[in-house]
């Protein structure tokens, strides 16, 4: 059981099907946290894994009382899983880090130290060395941050991912945001809390494969852009205005050509123009649709994750439900005892 008193530090670790890396993570993270000499909890957010992750977490928990397991009912995605962890974390300070050891746990004490020394509410882990990342990942990441700064998220520190330390005040501010699909690496800087940075070398994934295929990277980019800027909507307006001016010019040209007896330019150019405008209109509609979709989902207020179970609410006399659930098949309804269930939906 984690100590009932509020810990000084919470470490939130989102994980989706990380059975390969989990033993390595426990072996690296635990000595660092034990060495801090402060009360802590680790909030492992199991983002609906269907592999052995829940079983491994349950067995790790028997040996590591500070480990707390928050299981989400279904895969909610990296950002929503972190949000779930932030809402559950109880520490005065909260660190979020990836499960795959790309964010070295040894930096956590430096982050705490930097926060205290500089009186900062947020300490960003900044990647000073990304040589372990693929060239594709490095280039897309650089383009992402440059693009986001250009369209409005000016405070986003370069090369800062989701490895960061936040004070209780910052976490409360994040939890209070009503916005869906929040992209934390942009939302947190925008809150404007005093911050510091700690550099670290981004390691290669310790085991397993990336859970961020291109489609998810695109989704994150769309969430970032639409969450932070109205520029694309204005772009649609500019397309529309430019198109209108061009159309008027073409009309004048056609009229003059007719009056002076010249034949109007041929069929091909007409088709090209119609097609080009069709494409611009569809593009503009698509951009609007992205924002309208967000308005709709905000109105629906459907939670972006559901907590199935939080090991904090077990009593020590109870049989560990996660183990039984995992043996029975983690997704079988009723695999967990009724009183340990937490079907309360949470919003990010």
Angle between helix axes 184-191 and 214-228 (nearest 10 degrees) is 30
Give DSSP secondary structure letters for 134-171: -HHHHHHHHHHHHHHHHTT-TT--TTEEEEEEEEHHHH
The interface partner of residue 46, options being ligand UDP, Mg ion, none and the CB cut-off 5 to 8 Å by kind, is none
- CA dihedral (222, 224, 230, 234) positive or negative: negative
Q: Which is nearer to Mg ion, 46 or 100 (CB)?
A: 100
CB 288, min distance to ligand UDP, A: 28
Note whether 298 and 275 are within 8 A (CB): no
Nearest to 130 by CA among 103, 96, 95, 165: 103
CB 211, min distance to ligand UDP, A: 3
314 lies in the binding site for Mg ion (CB under 5 A): no
CB 177, min distance to ligand UDP, A: 20
Q: Which is nearer to ligand UDP, 53 or 197 (CB)?
A: 53
The 3-state secondary structure of 210-242, one letter per residue = CCCCHHHHHHHHHHHHHHHCCHHHHHHHHHHHH
- Binding track, positions 64-103, relative to Mg ion; x by CB under 5 A: ----------------------------------x-x-x-
Report the site for Mg ion in 316-345 (rule: CB under 5 A): none
The interface partner of residue 314, options being Mg ion, ligand UDP, none and the CB cut-off 5 to 8 Å by kind, is none
Residue 161 CA to residue 207 CA, distance in Å, equals 20
The interface partner of residue 81, options being Mg ion, ligand UDP, none and the CB cut-off 5 to 8 Å by kind, is ligand UDP
Q: Which is nearer to ligand UDP, 84 or 287 (CB)?
A: 84
DSSP state letter for 340: G
Exposure of 333 by Cβ count < 10 A (0-12 exposed, 13-18 middle, 19+ buried)?
A: exposed
The interface partner of residue 47, options being Mg ion, ligand UDP, none and the CB cut-off 5 to 8 Å by kind, is ligand UDP
Residue 94 CA to residue 82 CA, distance in Å, equals 11
**Residue 64 in tokens:** 């590591």
Q: Which is nearer to ligand UDP, 102 or 170 (CB)?
A: 102
CB 21, min distance to ligand UDP, A: 8
Q: What's the angle, vertex CA 106, arms to CA 54 and CA 220, rounded to 5?
A: 60
Q: Which is nearer to ligand UDP, 16 or 93 (CB)?
A: 16
CB 215, min distance to Mg ion, A: 16
Q: Which is nearer to Mg ion, 130 or 168 (CB)?
A: 130
Exposure of 67 by Cβ count < 10 A (0-12 exposed, 13-18 middle, 19+ buried)?
A: buried
Q: Which is nearer to ligand UDP, 41 or 98 (CB)?
A: 98
CB 81, min distance to Mg ion, A: 13
Residues found near ligand UDP in the complex (CB under 6 A): 14-16, 18, 47, 75, 77-78, 81, 98-100, 102, 205, 210-212
Q: Which residues of this chain interact with Mg ion, rule CB under 5 A?
A: 98, 100, 102
């Amino acid at each position: 059981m984690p100590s009932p008193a509020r810990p000084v530090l919470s470490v939130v670790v989102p994980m989706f099907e990380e059975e390969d890396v989990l033993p390595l993570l426990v072996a690296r993270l635990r000595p660092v946290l034990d060495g801090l000499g402060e009360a802590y909890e680790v909030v492992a957010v199991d983002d609906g894994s269907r592999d052995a992750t829940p079983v491994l977490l349950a067995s790790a928990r028997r040996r590591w009382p500070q480990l707390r397991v928050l299981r989400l009912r279904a895969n909610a995605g990296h950002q929503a899983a972190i949000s779930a962890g932030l809402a559950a974390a109880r520490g005065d300070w909260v660190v979020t880090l990836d499960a795959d050891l790309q964010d070295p746990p040894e930096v956590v004490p430096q982050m705490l130290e930097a926060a205290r020394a500089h009186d900062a509410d947020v300490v960003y882990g900044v990647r000073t060395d990304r040589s372990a990342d693929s060239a594709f990942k490095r280039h897309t990441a650089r383009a992402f941050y440059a693009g986001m700064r250009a369209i409005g998220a000016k405070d986003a520190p370069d090369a800062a991912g989701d490895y960061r330390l936040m004070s209780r005040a910052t976490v409360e501010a994040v939890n209070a945001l009503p916005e869906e699909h929040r992209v934390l690496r942009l939302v947190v800087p925008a809150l404007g809390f005093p911050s510091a940075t700690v550099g670290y070398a981004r390691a290669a994934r310790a085991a397993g494969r990336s859970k961020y295929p291109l489609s998810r990277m695109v989704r994150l980019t769309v969430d970032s852009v639409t969450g932070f800027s109205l520029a694309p909507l204005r772009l649609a307006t500019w397309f529309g205005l430019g198109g209108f001016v061009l159309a008027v010019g073409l009309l004048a040209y056609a009229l003059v050509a007719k009056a002076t007896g010249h034949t109007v330019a041929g069929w091909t150019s007409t088709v090209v123009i119609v097609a080009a405008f069709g494409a611009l209109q569809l593009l503009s509609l698509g951009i609007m649709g992205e924002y309208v979709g967000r308005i709709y989902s905000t109105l629906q207020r459907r939670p972006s994750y559901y907590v199935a179970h939080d090991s904090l609410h077990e009593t020590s006399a109870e049989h560990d439900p996660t183990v039984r659930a995992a043996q029975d098949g983690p997704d079988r309804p009723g695999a967990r005892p009724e009183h340990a269930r937490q079907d309360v939906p949470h919003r990010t």
